[in-house]
A and B are shown apart, each in its own frame.
Chain A
Amino acid sequence: MERRLPSGRKFFRKGDLVAVAVLVIAALAVWTGLLFASSGEHMTVQIYSDNELFLQISLPAEDQTISIPDKQLALEIKNNRIGVLETDCPDHTCKKTGYISRPGQSIICLPNRVVVQIAGQSDTDSGIDAIAG
């Protein structure tokens, strides 16, 4: 026997179930979003120049260009990733590294003595402590 509200309506109608389903899906979406946001929550980009910490930026951050004083080197943050935009160094190794966004990743420009790194333990479980090369 179906329960009926005093008004005589069914407690649930098809439309209500749809509404509940939509809410559950929406909540799941928010949760997924939170998960992603939390993995980036404590990420900090550290920029060192001549062995000194020059700048720290928390990610996510707005798109921007960062010039390093006294160096012909410009960095760019785009879509929460950081990379070398322009450099005058001869080998361009730093630029070839591309854009980084995960903890533990780094960009090193030897000729300019600049390091960009994302603080935090590496989440890529490579198990490697150092690279010989």
Chain B
Amino acid sequence: MAKAKSKLPYIITLLFLVLAVVGVVWAVQMTKTGHDTPPANEIVAKTGQKFLMDTFVTQTTYDKSGDAEQKLAQVFDMLTEFEKKVSMHIPSSEISKINAGAGVSVIKVSPEVYELVKRSRELSLKSKGKFDITIGPLVKAWGITTDSPRVPDEEEIKKLVKRVGASKITLHDKNVTLYLSDPYMEIDLGGVAKGYACDLVREKYKELGLTDGMISLGGNIYSFGKKADGTAYTIGLRDPYGAAEDTYGNIAAPDKVIATTGGYERYFEQDGKKYIHVLDPKTGYPVESDLAAVTVISEDGLLADFLSTTLFAAGKTALLENINNEKFDVIAVDTERNIYLSDGIKDSFVLTNKTDYRLAE
């Protein structure tokens, strides 16, 4: 009894100490939580996302108007309508109708599809055989982006290569009609549709009156304006040898379309060999490039998308001959992880992965 009594003050003191420590911990915790809550006046980005045009599409805007989210939804709606016109997988699309009517019927199309096909045809003819929008029969035979990709035999490829040829597309400006003169040919807009979609999005953003905006169609990006903090959007450049979130550098978004092509994007493997999704219209086989990724930046989204594919397919030597041009900028990575920049992008480019990558002289 006497023993217990003598311990009482001692226990009380300890209890106070414990309470004091708990109090301090609690106070620090509260301060910490307080910091985590954003200030009431901070403008949070509004975002939207959707699977569209065979890819994952995300949008961001810091526009302060109350209906910014609805505006982004309108952009998605516009793209959904566009997809219904150009998709090869939608039987009722204008492109499907043109392909089904090859050698038989002249098809009346919408102005945007007409413009897209007309310009893509011209670009195909200028690409020196590196790009062709009538590559459809080869794309289907390989099925690289489908559930059942395969390596077609040589005879089959030889036969299919003959069907490819953008010059066999007949256009009629006045009637806005298209006709494919070879009954077995097929248009595939996979190499240009996303870039052109970026051009359509730019027009839509303008029409909606957004203060700023950014859209990524599976890594093909268009952005304009500044973020809430007054800075430009920062665009990371995907590390072609890394995971989906790894980047080797970044640039400040230049209010232009940024299109990228690389062998890492979509491919399949068979018997230890890798078959990438970029096909050579002349040989009928997947491109074997000494480049790992080519990014093209241009006000002209269709051109950017076309060039990223074409320069990637053309390889390093051809790329370096054409790297400086007033219509576009280029950021390219070769298979040895050397980075090549056009003069116009040198000031904006920041190399972030200095361990694996180096700027070429």
Q: Please determine whether B236 and A128 come into contact, CB atoms closer than 8 angstroms.
A: yes
Q: By the criterion CB–CB under 8 Å, are A131 and B238 in contact?
A: yes
Question: Are B32 and A130 in touch, CB under 8 angstroms?
Answer: no
Cα distance, A130 to B54, chains bound together (Å): 19
Q: Please judge, given known A-B contacts A31-B25, A50-B51, whether A132 and B244 are in contact too, CB under 8 Å.
A: no
Which of B102-110, B170-178, B261-269, B283-291 sits within the interface? Answer: B261-269
Q: Does B149 contact A (CB under 8 A)?
A: yes
Q: A20-B14, A23-B18 are in contact. Are A130 and B221 (CB under 8 A)?
A: yes
Output the nearest chain B residue to A49 by Cβ-Cβ distance: B51
Task: Judge whether B236 and A131 touch: CB under 8 Å.
Answer: yes
CA distance A110 to B55 in the complex (A): 6
In contact, B221 and A38 (Cβ under 8 angstroms): no
For chain A residues 22-40, which have a beta carbon within 8 Å of chain B? 23-24, 27-28, 30-31, 34-35, 38
Number of interface residues of B (CB under 8 A): 60
Indicate if B260 sits at the interface (CB-CB under 8 A). Answer: yes
Given contacts A31-B28, A131-B235, contact A111 B147 (CB under 8 A): yes
Asked whether B29 lies within 8 Å of A31 as measured between CB atoms, the reply is yes
User: Which residues of the partner chain B approach A115 to less than 8 Å between Cβ atoms?
Assistant: 49, 51, 56
* Chain A residues within 8 Å of B244, by CB: 93, 96-97, 108, 131
Which residue from A9, A31, A90, A132 sits with its C-beta under 8 Å from B221?
A: A132
Within 8 A of B (CB), among A1-46: 5-7, 9, 11, 16, 19-20, 23-24, 27-28, 30-31, 34-35, 38
Residues of B within 8 A of A93 (CB): 244
Q: Give Cα A105–Cα B28 distance, bound, in whole angstroms.
A: 29
Which partner residue on chain A sits nearest B240 by CB separation?
A133
- In contact, A27 and B21 (Cβ under 8 angstroms): yes
A-B contact count (CB 8 A): 129
- Per the 8 Å Cβ criterion, residues 82-133 of A in contact with B are 88-91, 93, 96-98, 105, 108, 110-111, 113, 115, 126-133
- B54 → chain A closest CB, angstroms: 7
**Closest residue to B242 on the A side, CB-wise?**
A133
Is there a chain A Cβ closer than 8 Å to B258's Cβ? yes
**With contact pairs A31-B29, A35-B32, A90-B146 given, residues A130 and B17 touching in the complex (Cβ less than 8 Å):** no
A53 to B320, CA, bound (A): 46
Checking A9, A35, A91, A96 against B268 with a beta-carbon cut-off of 8 angstroms, the contacting residue is A91
Also in contact, A133 and B10, with CB within 8 A (given A38-B32, A50-B51, A105-B245): no
The reply to whether B265 and A110 form a contact with Cβ atoms under 8 Å apart is no
B227:A129 contact, CB within 8 angstroms: yes
In the complex, chain A residues whose CB is within 8 Å of the CB of B295: 132-133
* Alpha-carbon separation in the docked complex, A110 to B56 (Å): 7
Chain A CB within 8 A of B96 CB = no
Give Cα A96–Cα B264 distance, bound, in whole angstroms: 12
In the assembly, what is the distance between CA of A27 and CA of B17, in Å?
A: 11
B124 within 8 Å of A (CB atoms): no
- Taking the nearest CB of chain B, how far is it from the CB of A51, in angstroms? 5
CB distance from B98 to the nearest CB of A (A): 26
What residues of A have a CB within 8 angstroms of the CB of B50 in the complex? 51
Distance, CA A130 to CA B236, complexed state (A)? 6
Q: Report the separation of the CA atoms of residues A7 and B247 in the bound assembly, to the nearest whole angstrom.
A: 71
Inter-chain contacts of A5 with B (CB < 8 A)? 6, 9-10
> In the complex, which residues of chain B have a beta carbon less than 8 angstroms from the beta carbon of A11?
10, 13
Asked if B75 is an interface residue, CB under 8 A from chain A, the answer is no
Asked if B181 CB lies within 8 Å of chain A CBs, one says: no
Structural contact, B29 and A19, CB atoms closer than 8 A? no
Q: Besides A34-B25, A90-B147, A97-B244, 13 other CB < 8 A contacts?
A: A23-B14, A23-B17, A23-B18, A30-B25, A34-B29, A35-B32, A50-B51, A89-B147, A90-B146, A91-B267, A108-B56, A127-B234, A132-B235
14 CB < 8 A contacts A-B: A20-B14, A28-B25, A35-B32, A38-B36, A90-B145, A110-B51, A129-B233, A130-B214, A130-B216, A130-B233, A131-B238, A131-B247, A132-B219, A133-B265
